[in-house]
Amino acid sequence: MFQTLYSYFWWERLWLPANLTWADLEDRDGRVYAKASDLYITIPLAFLFLVVRHLFETYVATPLAGLLNVKEKIRLKATPNAVLEKFYAATTKHPKQADVEMLSKKSGCTVRQVERWFRRRRNQDRPSLLKKFREASWRFTFYLIAFIAGMAVIVDKPWFYDLREVWKGYPIQSMLPSQYWYYMIELSFYWSLLFSIASDVKRKDFKEQIIHHVATIILISFSWFANYIRAGTLIMALHDSSDYLLESAKMFNYAGWRNTCNNIFIIFAAVFIVTRLVILPFWIMHCTVVYPLDLYPAFFGYYFFNFMMAVLQSLHIFWAYLIIRMAQKFITGKARWGPGDERSDREETDNSEEEEEVAKNGPLSNGHPVLNNNHRKAD
């Protein structure tokens, strides 16, 4: 049964144009082609990325946070209470009013005390500012290096300037060593993001992030063994072009460098909109949807690839809406927090107990009032 499923999965008519077989993509005459088995290495590389990330966050990002004066805010801890803790762990972190009144009777606390306890308990589980800074630093470093490497891989290629060259001679297109490593590193990194997403800071668009990572992994993998490598390198470089700007804006936001964060965010928003809402659909997707039909009839792999591209484009539209909305609030002065990107930098938590204390006593830093602080809470 497994062999039958395997045969159906690799049926040539699914993934290749008519009159082409996997034999046409076997190495010969000095030409080297991408092979599905090459992708096995990305799993151990993904775990290696997790190790490198841990070392980077410990020995690079943490000292950098100290240099940038990234400070933790004082969080008041919830007093131990077995009744409330059991409800918090087993039922919900956000009790309704009826639950609060019921817990008030069971625990012997007032309704106000129960509400305060849940607020403080949720704040204890919130990721620290240092954790968020370290994550942003790691992603910024990777995306910046990946973007530079990606441009080095494609900038001297004819298909970078003429998209019709993407399909010239397809699928008899030899793979270059630079393309091999670009693919392996990018795919390994996205596997590592998927493996670590449960332990990373949980953001407002958590589900969308999972869909994005899965769609990206599928697209990179399919484009590899179907030899869509030229189109794949263009797509990966295009995505990396704005991501490092977002992560750097977050870093400066966490460090309290508001003006720098604001300026980078505006640049990021412009680059994101141009690359994801203009270049990707009207140049790259036009290239993958229209040009192949000049060479061969549409087949399942053609539809599959472009469907996954449409999924990514839908996510880009969703994120662009949030980014534009945040930019409007920022420009009009209505933003409640630094423009660290509404799409992925807000947790679904209540206002913290510290914010209550700020409202009463003014801003705090390390437990003491801060003078000359005219900025709103940025996270």
In angstroms, the Cα distances linking 142 to 52, 70, 246, 297 are 11, 21, 12, 39
Assigned CATH for 82-125: 1.10.10.60
| Rounded Cα distance, 103 and 30, in Å | 74
Measured in degrees and rounded to the nearest 5, phi and psi for residue 120 equal: -65, -40
Q: Quick: pLDDT tens for 144-170.
A: 999 999 999 999 999 999 999 999 888
Beta strands in the chain (DSSP E): 364-365, 368-369
- What ranges do the domains of the chain cover? 30-65+129-332, 82-125
Residue 256 DSSP symbol: T
Q: Quick: pLDDT tens for 308-361.
A: 899 989 999 999 998 888 877 766 665 544 444 444 444 334 444 444 443 444
CB atoms under 10 Å from CB of 303, counted, come to: 11
pLDDT at residue 277, rounded to an integer: 95
CA angle 123–49–210, rounded 5-degree value: 55
pLDDT beneath 50: ranges in the chain:
336-379
pLDDT at residue 342, rounded to an integer: 47
pLDDT at residue 333, rounded to an integer: 62
pLDDT at residue 334, rounded to an integer: 59
89-112 burial, b at 16+ Cβ within 10 Å, e below that, comes to eeeeeebeeeebeebbeebebeee
